[in-house]
Amino acid sequence: MVGYVLRRILTLGPVLLAVALITFLLMHAVPGGPWDTEKPLDPVTVAGLNRKYGLDEPLWRQFLLFLANALRGDLGVSYMNQGRPVTEILSDGLLTSATLGGASLAVGLTLGLALGLAAALRRNSALDRATSIASACAASTPTFVLGAFLVALFSVRLHWLPASGWGSLQQMVMPVAVLAALPAAYIARVSRAALLEVLDEEYIRTARSKGLPERTVLLRHTVRNGLVPVITVVGPVAAALVTGSFIVESFFSIPGTGRLFVQAVFARDYGLIMGATLFYASIVVVANLIVDLLCAAVDPRIRYE
Protein backbone atom coordinates (compact mmCIF):
# COMPACT_ATOMS: atom_id res chain seq x y z
CA MET A 1 0.00 0.00 0.00
CA VAL A 2 2.75 2.45 1.00
CA GLY A 3 4.67 1.50 -2.12
CA TYR A 4 1.58 2.12 -4.24
CA VAL A 5 1.03 5.56 -2.70
CA LEU A 6 4.67 6.48 -3.26
CA ARG A 7 4.52 5.30 -6.86
CA ARG A 8 1.37 7.32 -7.45
CA ILE A 9 2.95 10.41 -5.93
CA LEU A 10 6.05 9.94 -8.08
CA THR A 11 3.92 9.77 -11.23
CA LEU A 12 2.48 13.21 -10.41
CA GLY A 13 5.61 14.89 -11.73
CA PRO A 14 5.57 13.34 -15.23
CA VAL A 15 1.78 13.82 -15.46
CA LEU A 16 2.05 17.51 -14.62
CA LEU A 17 5.02 17.90 -16.96
CA ALA A 18 3.00 16.37 -19.80
CA VAL A 19 0.05 18.64 -18.98
CA ALA A 20 2.38 21.66 -18.97
CA LEU A 21 3.94 20.73 -22.32
CA ILE A 22 0.62 20.01 -24.04
CA THR A 23 -0.91 23.22 -22.66
CA PHE A 24 2.12 25.23 -23.76
CA LEU A 25 2.02 23.82 -27.29
CA LEU A 26 -1.74 24.23 -27.66
CA MET A 27 -1.62 27.74 -26.27
CA HIS A 28 0.89 28.82 -28.90
CA ALA A 29 -0.80 26.82 -31.66
CA VAL A 30 -4.16 28.57 -31.46
CA PRO A 31 -4.43 31.66 -33.67
CA GLY A 32 -3.91 35.03 -32.04
CA GLY A 33 -1.47 36.10 -29.36
CA PRO A 34 -1.79 38.25 -26.25
CA TRP A 35 -1.31 41.48 -28.19
CA ASP A 36 -3.78 40.70 -30.98
CA THR A 37 -6.63 42.85 -29.83
CA GLU A 38 -9.48 44.48 -31.70
CA LYS A 39 -7.59 47.73 -31.47
CA PRO A 40 -4.32 46.81 -33.17
CA LEU A 41 -1.11 47.82 -31.45
CA ASP A 42 1.73 49.56 -33.20
CA PRO A 43 4.56 47.12 -34.13
CA VAL A 44 6.89 49.21 -31.94
CA THR A 45 4.64 48.57 -28.97
CA VAL A 46 4.30 44.86 -29.75
CA ALA A 47 8.07 44.54 -29.98
CA GLY A 48 8.42 46.30 -26.62
CA LEU A 49 5.85 44.05 -24.98
CA ASN A 50 7.39 40.87 -26.40
CA ARG A 51 10.77 41.97 -25.09
CA LYS A 52 9.34 42.90 -21.70
CA TYR A 53 7.64 39.53 -21.21
CA GLY A 54 10.31 37.37 -22.85
CA LEU A 55 8.10 36.42 -25.79
CA ASP A 56 10.86 37.31 -28.25
CA GLU A 57 12.75 34.15 -27.17
CA PRO A 58 12.40 30.87 -29.16
CA LEU A 59 9.50 28.71 -27.98
CA TRP A 60 11.67 25.89 -26.58
CA ARG A 61 13.60 28.38 -24.51
CA GLN A 62 10.41 30.00 -23.26
CA PHE A 63 9.17 26.59 -22.11
CA LEU A 64 12.40 25.66 -20.36
CA LEU A 65 12.50 29.04 -18.66
CA PHE A 66 8.91 28.53 -17.53
CA LEU A 67 9.80 25.10 -16.08
CA ALA A 68 12.90 26.37 -14.34
CA ASN A 69 10.99 29.24 -12.79
CA ALA A 70 7.97 27.06 -11.92
CA LEU A 71 10.23 24.67 -9.97
CA ARG A 72 11.27 27.67 -7.89
CA GLY A 73 7.58 28.53 -7.33
CA ASP A 74 7.61 31.42 -9.80
CA LEU A 75 4.88 31.14 -12.47
CA GLY A 76 5.75 34.46 -14.09
CA VAL A 77 3.58 37.54 -14.43
CA SER A 78 0.18 38.10 -15.93
CA TYR A 79 -0.37 40.20 -19.07
CA MET A 80 -4.02 40.94 -18.50
CA ASN A 81 -3.41 42.08 -14.90
CA GLN A 82 -0.28 43.84 -15.98
CA GLY A 83 2.78 42.80 -14.04
CA ARG A 84 1.00 40.97 -11.17
CA PRO A 85 2.67 37.64 -10.32
CA VAL A 86 0.58 34.64 -11.43
CA THR A 87 1.06 32.91 -8.06
CA GLU A 88 -0.35 35.98 -6.31
CA ILE A 89 -3.36 36.11 -8.65
CA LEU A 90 -4.05 32.39 -8.24
CA SER A 91 -3.69 32.48 -4.47
CA ASP A 92 -6.12 35.42 -4.35
CA GLY A 93 -8.82 33.28 -5.92
CA LEU A 94 -7.82 29.97 -4.38
CA LEU A 95 -9.67 30.29 -1.08
CA THR A 96 -12.81 31.45 -2.86
CA SER A 97 -12.78 28.59 -5.35
CA ALA A 98 -11.91 26.06 -2.67
CA THR A 99 -14.80 27.28 -0.51
CA LEU A 100 -17.21 27.22 -3.42
CA GLY A 101 -16.02 23.78 -4.60
CA GLY A 102 -15.87 22.29 -1.11
CA ALA A 103 -19.31 23.54 -0.12
CA SER A 104 -20.79 22.35 -3.40
CA LEU A 105 -19.20 18.91 -3.05
CA ALA A 106 -20.47 18.61 0.54
CA VAL A 107 -23.98 19.67 -0.43
CA GLY A 108 -23.95 17.49 -3.55
CA LEU A 109 -22.71 14.42 -1.65
CA THR A 110 -25.08 14.81 1.30
CA LEU A 111 -28.11 15.54 -0.81
CA GLY A 112 -27.26 12.90 -3.43
CA LEU A 113 -26.66 10.16 -0.85
CA ALA A 114 -29.80 11.05 1.11
CA LEU A 115 -31.95 11.01 -2.00
CA GLY A 116 -30.30 7.84 -3.33
CA LEU A 117 -30.82 6.02 -0.04
CA ALA A 118 -34.42 7.18 0.31
CA ALA A 119 -35.18 6.17 -3.29
CA ALA A 120 -33.55 2.76 -2.87
CA LEU A 121 -35.39 1.99 0.34
CA ARG A 122 -38.72 3.02 -1.20
CA ARG A 123 -38.18 1.44 -4.58
CA ASN A 124 -40.87 2.28 -7.18
CA SER A 125 -42.64 4.57 -4.73
CA ALA A 126 -43.70 8.14 -5.55
CA LEU A 127 -40.54 9.37 -3.77
CA ASP A 128 -38.36 7.13 -5.97
CA ARG A 129 -40.03 8.40 -9.12
CA ALA A 130 -39.82 12.03 -7.97
CA THR A 131 -36.10 11.60 -7.21
CA SER A 132 -35.51 10.11 -10.66
CA ILE A 133 -37.33 12.97 -12.39
CA ALA A 134 -35.56 15.62 -10.26
CA SER A 135 -32.18 13.99 -10.94
CA ALA A 136 -32.80 13.88 -14.67
CA CYS A 137 -33.87 17.54 -14.68
CA ALA A 138 -30.88 18.66 -12.60
CA ALA A 139 -28.46 16.66 -14.74
CA SER A 140 -29.82 17.97 -18.03
CA THR A 141 -30.35 21.65 -17.13
CA PRO A 142 -27.39 23.78 -18.23
CA THR A 143 -25.70 25.57 -15.34
CA PHE A 144 -26.37 29.06 -16.67
CA VAL A 145 -30.06 28.31 -17.21
CA LEU A 146 -30.44 27.12 -13.63
CA GLY A 147 -28.45 30.15 -12.44
CA ALA A 148 -30.59 32.56 -14.45
CA PHE A 149 -33.76 30.96 -13.09
CA LEU A 150 -32.61 31.23 -9.47
CA VAL A 151 -31.49 34.86 -9.92
CA ALA A 152 -34.80 35.79 -11.58
CA LEU A 153 -36.73 34.18 -8.74
CA PHE A 154 -34.72 34.92 -5.59
CA SER A 155 -33.06 38.23 -6.53
CA VAL A 156 -35.24 40.05 -9.04
CA ARG A 157 -38.69 38.87 -7.92
CA LEU A 158 -38.37 38.06 -4.21
CA HIS A 159 -35.32 40.23 -3.32
CA TRP A 160 -34.18 37.53 -0.91
CA LEU A 161 -30.66 36.90 -2.18
CA PRO A 162 -27.99 39.07 -3.87
CA ALA A 163 -27.71 38.45 -7.62
CA SER A 164 -23.93 38.23 -7.59
CA GLY A 165 -20.72 38.63 -5.64
CA TRP A 166 -19.02 36.66 -2.93
CA GLY A 167 -18.27 37.04 0.75
CA SER A 168 -21.50 36.67 2.71
CA LEU A 169 -23.46 33.50 3.43
CA GLN A 170 -26.36 34.88 1.41
CA GLN A 171 -24.10 35.34 -1.60
CA MET A 172 -23.02 31.70 -1.36
CA VAL A 173 -26.48 30.15 -1.50
CA MET A 174 -27.25 30.34 -5.21
CA PRO A 175 -23.77 29.55 -6.62
CA VAL A 176 -23.43 26.54 -4.30
CA ALA A 177 -26.93 25.35 -5.21
CA VAL A 178 -26.20 25.66 -8.94
CA LEU A 179 -22.82 23.96 -8.70
CA ALA A 180 -24.10 21.19 -6.40
CA ALA A 181 -27.10 20.34 -8.58
CA LEU A 182 -25.27 18.12 -11.07
CA PRO A 183 -23.17 16.18 -8.49
CA ALA A 184 -26.28 15.68 -6.32
CA ALA A 185 -28.23 14.29 -9.28
CA TYR A 186 -25.36 12.06 -10.38
CA ILE A 187 -24.63 10.73 -6.90
CA ALA A 188 -28.33 10.13 -6.21
CA ARG A 189 -28.59 7.93 -9.29
CA VAL A 190 -25.32 6.07 -8.67
CA SER A 191 -26.04 5.51 -4.98
CA ARG A 192 -29.61 4.37 -5.65
CA ALA A 193 -28.40 1.77 -8.15
CA ALA A 194 -25.56 0.64 -5.90
CA LEU A 195 -27.75 0.35 -2.82
CA LEU A 196 -30.44 -1.55 -4.71
CA GLU A 197 -27.81 -4.02 -5.86
CA VAL A 198 -26.55 -4.49 -2.32
CA LEU A 199 -30.07 -4.82 -0.92
CA ASP A 200 -30.63 -7.75 -3.30
CA GLU A 201 -27.48 -9.54 -2.11
CA GLU A 202 -27.88 -12.77 -0.17
CA TYR A 203 -25.82 -11.58 2.79
CA ILE A 204 -28.36 -8.82 3.43
CA ARG A 205 -31.16 -11.37 3.47
CA THR A 206 -28.99 -13.51 5.77
CA ALA A 207 -28.39 -10.58 8.10
CA ARG A 208 -32.09 -9.83 8.25
CA SER A 209 -33.00 -13.50 8.77
CA LYS A 210 -30.52 -13.63 11.68
CA GLY A 211 -32.72 -10.96 13.30
CA LEU A 212 -30.23 -8.07 13.12
CA PRO A 213 -31.94 -4.73 13.68
CA GLU A 214 -32.83 -2.98 10.37
CA ARG A 215 -30.70 0.04 11.39
CA THR A 216 -27.61 -2.20 11.71
CA VAL A 217 -28.38 -3.96 8.43
CA LEU A 218 -28.66 -0.66 6.65
CA LEU A 219 -25.71 1.21 8.15
CA ARG A 220 -23.18 -1.57 8.62
CA HIS A 221 -23.89 -3.81 5.65
CA THR A 222 -25.88 -1.93 3.03
CA VAL A 223 -24.57 1.65 3.10
CA ARG A 224 -20.94 0.74 3.70
CA ASN A 225 -20.82 -1.67 0.76
CA GLY A 226 -23.00 0.55 -1.37
CA LEU A 227 -20.58 3.44 -0.86
CA VAL A 228 -17.75 2.00 -2.95
CA PRO A 229 -19.27 2.82 -6.37
CA VAL A 230 -20.22 6.25 -5.01
CA ILE A 231 -16.66 6.98 -3.86
CA THR A 232 -15.27 5.95 -7.24
CA VAL A 233 -17.35 8.66 -8.92
CA VAL A 234 -16.26 11.38 -6.47
CA GLY A 235 -13.10 11.90 -8.55
CA PRO A 236 -14.95 12.66 -11.79
CA VAL A 237 -17.50 14.65 -9.79
CA ALA A 238 -14.70 16.80 -8.34
CA ALA A 239 -13.39 17.33 -11.87
CA ALA A 240 -16.91 18.31 -12.97
CA LEU A 241 -17.03 20.79 -10.10
CA VAL A 242 -13.79 22.32 -11.34
CA THR A 243 -15.08 22.78 -14.88
CA GLY A 244 -18.51 23.81 -13.59
CA SER A 245 -16.91 26.47 -11.45
CA PHE A 246 -15.65 28.24 -14.61
CA ILE A 247 -19.25 28.97 -15.60
CA VAL A 248 -20.68 29.53 -12.12
CA GLU A 249 -17.90 31.91 -11.09
CA SER A 250 -18.30 33.89 -14.31
CA PHE A 251 -22.10 33.95 -14.02
CA PHE A 252 -22.19 35.10 -10.38
CA SER A 253 -19.09 37.36 -10.69
CA ILE A 254 -17.22 35.35 -8.06
CA PRO A 255 -13.51 36.25 -7.81
CA GLY A 256 -12.26 32.66 -7.97
CA THR A 257 -9.64 30.89 -10.04
CA GLY A 258 -12.25 29.37 -12.38
CA ARG A 259 -13.35 32.77 -13.65
CA LEU A 260 -9.70 33.82 -13.92
CA PHE A 261 -8.92 30.78 -16.03
CA VAL A 262 -11.69 31.62 -18.50
CA GLN A 263 -10.52 35.23 -18.70
CA ALA A 264 -6.91 34.11 -19.12
CA VAL A 265 -7.77 31.87 -22.07
CA PHE A 266 -9.71 34.63 -23.82
CA ALA A 267 -6.91 37.13 -23.17
CA ARG A 268 -4.15 34.70 -24.27
CA ASP A 269 -2.53 35.41 -20.91
CA TYR A 270 0.09 32.68 -21.30
CA GLY A 271 1.48 32.84 -17.76
CA LEU A 272 -1.93 32.68 -16.14
CA ILE A 273 -3.14 29.92 -18.48
CA MET A 274 -0.13 27.76 -17.58
CA GLY A 275 -0.45 28.47 -13.88
CA ALA A 276 -4.19 27.83 -13.73
CA THR A 277 -3.95 24.65 -15.84
CA LEU A 278 -1.26 23.18 -13.60
CA PHE A 279 -3.28 24.16 -10.56
CA TYR A 280 -6.44 22.43 -11.81
CA ALA A 281 -4.49 19.42 -13.10
CA SER A 282 -2.98 19.02 -9.64
CA ILE A 283 -6.44 19.11 -8.05
CA VAL A 284 -7.82 16.44 -10.37
CA VAL A 285 -4.77 14.15 -10.02
CA VAL A 286 -4.74 14.46 -6.23
CA ALA A 287 -8.54 13.97 -6.04
CA ASN A 288 -8.21 10.75 -8.04
CA LEU A 289 -5.44 9.53 -5.74
CA ILE A 290 -7.52 10.24 -2.64
CA VAL A 291 -10.51 8.45 -4.16
CA ASP A 292 -8.42 5.36 -4.90
CA LEU A 293 -7.15 5.33 -1.33
CA LEU A 294 -10.62 5.84 0.11
CA CYS A 295 -11.94 2.91 -1.92
CA ALA A 296 -9.27 0.70 -0.41
CA ALA A 297 -10.14 1.91 3.06
CA VAL A 298 -13.86 1.21 2.63
CA ASP A 299 -13.70 -2.05 0.68
CA PRO A 300 -11.26 -4.60 2.13
CA ARG A 301 -11.42 -6.60 -1.12
CA ILE A 302 -9.46 -3.85 -2.89
CA ARG A 303 -5.71 -4.33 -2.54
CA TYR A 304 -3.10 -2.28 -4.33
CA GLU A 305 0.19 -3.75 -5.43
Partner 1 sequence: MVQRNLVKRLLPAVLLAVVAVLAFACSSDETGAPSTQLAPVQELRLNLGGEPQTIDPNLADDALSVGVVRQLYSGLLGFDENLELTPVLAKELPSQANGGISEDGLVYTFRLREDAAWSDGEPLTADDVVYSVKRLLDPMTGSPYAPMYFDIKGAAEYAMAMGNPADPQPVDEATLAQLRDGVGVEAVDERTVRITLVSPRYTFAYLAAIWPIYPLREDIVESGGDWTEPGRHVSSGPFMLDEWTHNDHITLVPNPYWCGEEPKLTKIVLRMMADPNAAYAAYLNNELDVVIVPPPNVKAVEGDPELSKQIARWVDMSTFAYEFNVNQPPFDDPRVRQAFAMAVDREAFVDKVQFGIGEVAYSLIPPNMPGYDEDLGQQWQYNPERAKELLAEAGYSGENFPVVTIHAPDVGANRLWAEFAQGQFEQNLGIDVELEPLEPHAFAATVMQGQFMIIPVGWGADYPEPDSMLPQNFGSMGGNNLAGYSNAEFDALVQQAMAEPDPQKRLALWNEAQRILVDDAAAVFVSYHERLLLVKPYVKNLVLSGMDAALDGELFLTKTYIAEH
* Footprint on this chain of partner 1 (rule: CB under 8 A): 30-34, 36-49, 51-52, 56, 80-85, 89, 92-93, 148, 151-152, 155-156, 159, 162-167, 250-253, 255-256, 259-260, 263, 266-268
Evaluate whether 217 touches 207 at the Cβ level (below 8 Å): yes
Helices 224-251 and 257-267: crossing angle, nearest 10°? 50
Minimum gap (Å) between residue 115 Cβ and partner 1 = 30
Please, which residue, 183 or 275, has the CB nearer to partner 1?
275
Burial class (CB in 10 A: 0-12, 13-18, 19+), 46: middle
Rounded Cα gap, residues 4 and 165, in angstroms: 43
Minimum gap (Å) between residue 252 Cβ and partner 1 = 7
Evaluate whether 119 touches 131 at the Cβ level (below 8 Å): yes
Rounded Cα gap, residues 269 and 52, in angstroms: 14
Burial class (CB in 10 A: 0-12, 13-18, 19+), 218: buried
Please, which residue, 93 or 116, has the CB nearer to partner 1?
93
Please, which residue, 29 or 71, has the CB nearer to partner 1?
29
Minimum gap (Å) between residue 131 Cβ and partner 1 = 31
Question: What DSSP element (H or E) covers 7?
Answer: helix 2-29
Minimum gap (Å) between residue 98 Cβ and partner 1 = 15
Minimum gap (Å) between residue 188 Cβ and partner 1 = 29
Please, which residue, 85 or 229, has the CB nearer to partner 1?
85
Q: How far is CA 286 from CA 15, 54, 148, 247, 289, in A?
A: 11, 32, 33, 23, 5
Please, which residue, 49 or 114, has the CB nearer to partner 1?
49
Please, which residue, 155 or 288, has the CB nearer to partner 1?
155
Minimum gap (Å) between residue 59 Cβ and partner 1 = 17
